[in-house]
Amino acid sequence: MKRVNLTLILLLIVFSIACAQSKTDTELNWYTNLEEAKKVALNENKTIFIHFTGSDWCQWCWKLDEEVFEKPAFKDYARDNLVLVKLDFPQKTQQSEEVKKYNRNLAQKYQIRGFPTIQLLTAEGEAIEQTGYREGGAEKYVQHLQNILAKHSGNYNLFQHADFTLKDLHGNSVTLSELDKFIVLDFWATWCDPCKAEIPLLQEIYEKYKEQDLIVVGVSTESVEKQQEFFQQLKENGTEVTYLRLVDSDMAVTREYGIRSIPTTFFIDEDGNIIHQEKGFVPQSATKFENIIENNL
pLDDT tens track for 195-213: 999 999 999 999 999 999 9
Mean pLDDT in the chain? 90
What CATH number is associated with residue 65?
3.40.30.10
When pLDDT is cut at 50, 70 and 90, the band that residue 151 belongs to is confident
The one-letter code for the residue type at 270 is E
Higher pLDDT, 224 or 20: 224
Q: Which of 228, 232, 251 is closest to 171 using CA atoms? A: 228
Strand pairing report for 182-187 and 127-131: unpaired
- Neighbouring CB atoms inside 10 A of 87's CB total 24
Q: List the strands of the sheet with 173-175, edge to edge.
A: 173-175, 165-168, 244-247, 214-220, 182-187, 264-268, 274-279
Same domain, residue pair 171 and 75: no
Mean pLDDT of 127-155: 89
Distance, CA of 56 to CA of 120 (rounded, Å) = 23
Looking at residue 118, its pLDDT comes to 97
Q: Please count the structural domains in the chain.
A: 2
* Same domain membership, residue 177 and residue 277: yes
* CA 159, chain centre distance (Å): 18
Asked if 143 and 131 touch (Cβ cutoff 8 Å), the reply is no
Residues 247 and 177 in one domain: yes
| 232-275 pLDDT tens trace | 999 999 999 999 999 999 999 998 888 888 999 999 999 998 88
Count CB-CB contacts under 10 A for residue 184: 25
SS3 state of residue 259? coil
pLDDT by residue (tens digit) across 63-108? 999 999 999 999 999 999 999 999 999 999 999 999 999 999 999 9
Q: Is the pLDDT reported for residue 18 higher than 50? A: no
The per-residue pLDDT for 58 is 97
Let me know how many helices (H) and strands (E) the chain has, helices first: 11, 12
Tell me, what's the pLDDT at 25? Answer: 46
Nearest to 216 by CA among 207, 224, 229, 227: 207
3-state secondary structure of 118: strand
Note whether 149 and 167 are same-domain residues: no
What pLDDT, on a 0 to 100 scale, did the predictor assign at position 21?
A: 42
CA Rg, the chain, in Å?
24
Among the candidates 113, 128, 153, a domain finishes at 153
Per-residue pLDDT, 158: 85
* Cis amide leading into 116 (omega within 30): yes
| Whether residues 222 and 139 fall in one domain | no
Check whether residue 37 and residue 105 sit in a common domain. Answer: yes
Residue-level pLDDT at 189: 97
pLDDT of 257 reads 87
Whether the model clears a pTM of 0.85, i.e. scores above it, the answer is: no
- Tell me what percent of the residues of the chain surpass a pLDDT of 90: 78
Structural domain boundaries enclosing 179: 158-296
Task: Give whole-number Cα distances, 98 to 31, 36, 52, 110, in Å.
Answer: 16, 16, 17, 19
Predicted confidence at residue 234, as pLDDT, reads: 95
The reply to whether 13 falls in a domain is no
